[in-house]
Amino acid sequence: MKRLYLLRHAKSSWEDPEGSDFGRSLSKRGRRAAPAIGRYIQSEGFRPRLVLCSSARRTRETCELALAAWTPPPEIRFEPALYLAEPETILRLLAVLPEAADDVMVIGHNPGLQALAVRLGGGGGEALRRLRSKFPTGGFAVLDLDIDGWRAIADGGGLLIRFVAPRDLD
Bridging pattern class, strands 75-79 and 50-54: parallel
Mean pLDDT (the chain, rounded):
92
Band the pLDDT of 127: cuts 50, 70, 90: confident
Per DSSP, 39 falls in state: H
- For the chain, what is the total number of helices (H) and then of strands (E)? 5, 7
pLDDT greater than 90 at residue 82: yes
pLDDT, tens digit, 9 for 90 and up, residues 10-64: 999 877 666 788 999 999 999 999 999 999 999 999 999 999 999 999 999 999 9
pLDDT of residue 18: 62
pLDDT of residue 36: 95
